[in-house]
Structure 1
């Protein structure tokens, strides 16, 4: 049929000689052929849509055509077993995959597409049902376990309630037994009192009155019994029958016996005190402690005995102190204290430690002597003197008398050591050492003791000598002049040495704090030192920098003063108690930062080539277009913008060579970012002036877009690594501060300035923390911008 249909067209030559009109007539039906229209529609369809592509990929996966031998196998199976009514999706797909005739698989796919989709959905739903069935079974099992657990909990709760009820009964029974036991004890005491005897036997009388019988427990028991008899007699004599002859005789006899006993105790204590007072090892026997306790009922006898003890202890302690200074311990160990006289700290420390050890031993001896119990005070904690006990008064008085003779040799040697010192550090260490022992002695023997007052006197002398030393050194520093030929901006060696001395002084002061002082006490102890040592440094650097600036105009005075102030502030920042002085220096640093930022901003604008253009824009008069001003003519403006574009590719965008002398990267970043922010605002002002119609620039956007940053200020902020509101926040804060200053008095102005300086310091710390990240962002922005095309400026530099 194909050959027959084609033969007419290849027939007689007359067909080739048809007219043009006939050919048009024969072409028209052919162009309207539905197959051609369908082909054109298919070819003109756009398959770039992602949903269409995904649908085609899904169909392709569903009806994928196998290759090789698989085709033959599938064809055979499809021909033998294919049944559309009984076959599943896989069988349908398999039959559709084999194309015995071109287009057959597509026809089958169109025919069975809905059925295949429904079968696949049915299989998926079946799998979901199976999975959910397993979940339901597990939930049923879990519910069974929960019910069993609830049953166990109910049983445990019931058992707990029974246990509580049983314990309650047991506790009530124990309380009743305790009350019964107390009643029995009371009855026992009453019976014991009633059974007491009212007379002494011969053995007890001999123990009290005989000198041949030593004082022992037997003696004290006899004394106790005698006093008890007297108390019982008083009770009997106060009865309804009144005084009896037997009662009066018992009272007279026991009174004579007690007086003999107290006389015997006095002789015993005086003898024991003379023997114990001469020994270096102080030990208190139980008999001596009990004897002192008995004598407290006779204050006049106790005073006589303790007077002999204090005299003996004074002589013994003074002799022991002189021996420790000159001879040392037994067999030469420990070595004599005066052998270390060349080392003042060790020399004084050993003497004061010996005195403190002697006082501690004396305190322990007296507490044991008077039988004072431990009050729970930790070793080294503050001793409380608010108690008005008689024993505490005796102890303090005896300790003061015992160490009173040590004050003269101690004071003489300490003053001699203080006057021989030349180093202010050593003088301050000595003063703090004396201050430490002064506080220790006050907490041990009281503020009004003779040794405490002596230590207070020599401590004041030591501090006075130290203050005179540092004041002399500070005056020497204030008279130092800088070398005008030295171009360095680093602080002078003298200043660094002085700050090192200041650091050591504050370290010594910090180590001398006991930890229980309040903030006012801590600041009061160091403020005078800071005023004497810090203020001359600031004044000297400021005065000498101004003088050197006059003889060396190119020398950077602002950076030098700022570096010196920052070095001093860094020394102070390591110590919390210097907050006030740090705030004072921070005010000066903020002023220097503001001044340096102004100068650096002017230099940056000048280096960037926008200084003349910016000045012309600021000084521009409205009667003349800006494009006619010499500095802002299109050619001059184009040259300035080109210079600015080249400057953006240089290293000064990231770091300023002038600020490299600053040791603190935070200040370097803050000042440089402030200058860059003002440069960005200057560029913004230039762009706004150029774009104004009254300035008559032709193609202003094209003029600005030829060079980076192409007239787009936000791109410049990205190059600098800054936020666009960086400078606006500072200006808003300044405006608010100015309004507050106008409403306040002159006295309040100073306080407001200090608060503003603290806020700026805190903000500088926050800005410095992100300086490295912002600088890196600026460098990456600059590099990306350099790679962009000038004719097609990018919308974002990244």
Structure 2
């Protein structure tokens, strides 16, 4: 095997084997065994191929004599080994095919499970979406109800009064305290705010609330009127200190001129009786001696002195009456000037204060009517 090119001589049987191998290689059968043809093709290949040359050199170490018998034995041995290898490969591929079948079955099961899970997920997604939509609707409805509740609370706080507060202005007129006047101001505010409802879509609610507040106001004014009538009949001017409740009651009745005028008339009648008694006491005497003064009838020695003393008493009584009325009504003494508070801020008189001021001088004049009648009689 020292030649650079190794050639394998062929005999007739080798040629026949190569031809059979080529036929098998060119055959169209799917199960034909191509191993003999491939072996023959390899044996017939030139030794110049490096790979074939390397194989032949290996064969040279195996085959002692390169003759036809040895080559046939080698071919048969190789074919036998190839057949065994092919058989082992086929067996291995059979195992692989079985594993592939198992994997295919497992994949089918997985695919079935996946489809089932997909269907369940789709169904769950549909149910979840429905639940989410229902939850969104519920949340929106809850928010809408919360907004309505806020509006309702604000409406009730703005346009309603607790029963306990309403009892302050609807109960019997035993006394008028600060709670009564606070409740009355609240009722006035609600009655005024009903104008907003009348100008909106809540016209019916505005009318109902206004009717109820009107009834409450009428009841409150009636209570103030009855209480003030009783207080004015026994109101004392001896210590002309303003009665705050009387002042507030008179201020409240400025919205009801008829009731206010009735109370003013009651006060005038009470003052007429009081001044009449005081004037008669000044004329005729009594416990005035204890004060070191004598009756006018006894002091006057001539008509001019008598008339002057009576006029002086009437003037003093008129001034005292005006001061007492201003003190009771809590009016500033100088209506023509701007009044300032302790803090220095300008105080602007209210409409009710100006209205009460208009009654002070006529009330003082009316209170002196009976005393003036006595004066006229005394002059005659």
Report the TM-score when normalising by structure 2.
Answer: 0.49
Which is greater in Rg?
Answer: 2
Which structure is higher in RCO with an 8 Å CA cutoff and minimum separation 6?
A: 2
TM-score (norm 1): 0.24
